[in-house]
Amino acid sequence: MSATVSALTPERLAAADAAPGFMPVDEATALYDVAREYLTTPDSVGVGVEIGTYCGKSTVFLGSAAIESGSLIVTVDHHRGSEEHQPGWEYHDTSLVDPHAGTLDTSARFRRTIFDADLEGTVLGLLARSVDAARVWGRAVDFVFIDGGHSMKAAQADYDGWARWVRPGGALLIHDVFPDPADGGRPPYEIYCQALDSGKFSEVGAHGSLRVLQRA
């Protein structure tokens, strides 16, 4: 498919809309545009990584960008939910609880989303904790999109484990970055600051709470 023709079709938008999740459409569309850009540069290696899949809403946008250039998206999640998805928390969804294990399991809903979006040959789901998957990862990628657990421990592990795999000229994308504490949690903002302070990344875009940092 030509990179000039959008693969973000009405059918894929419908699949993303039907998937449980929290990413606003305008930020998801910006994510698609950014992913498309970094997957089609002359230095592209044809692989992007998402940390934090949930039910695949944002993954559809990444996969749509990847299919245009024959690239791949690897999305990493243990599918047991982050802190805010657990019983008693604001974002707990009882329909996503596995009755056998008695715990959250979003893997089947993710597979349904990717099936409905016709992206099964483009999106590879890696069922593992981010910190464990990072231990066996071994190649450079065009971008890493961090949108996993929002505790400081989880966010720090995502940054420490995955930012180093962004190729020179590639991008580190961080979601839910709120400079004002009144707007949201601090951990994504803290790792965003760490990336800038490292001297390896510079900010090249901001779309709502999505930050785009390019590696030197």
**Active-site residue numbers?**
150
DSSP letters for 197-211: HTTSEEEEEEETTEE
Q: What CA dihedral angle connects 62, 66, 71 and 77, to 10 degrees?
A: 20
Give whole-number Cα distances, 191 to 46, 68, 109, 188, in Å: 25, 31, 29, 5
Instruction: Report yes or no: 165 and 139 within 8 Å, Cβ to Cβ.
Output: yes
Q: Is 172 helix (H, G, I), strand (E, B) or coil?
A: strand
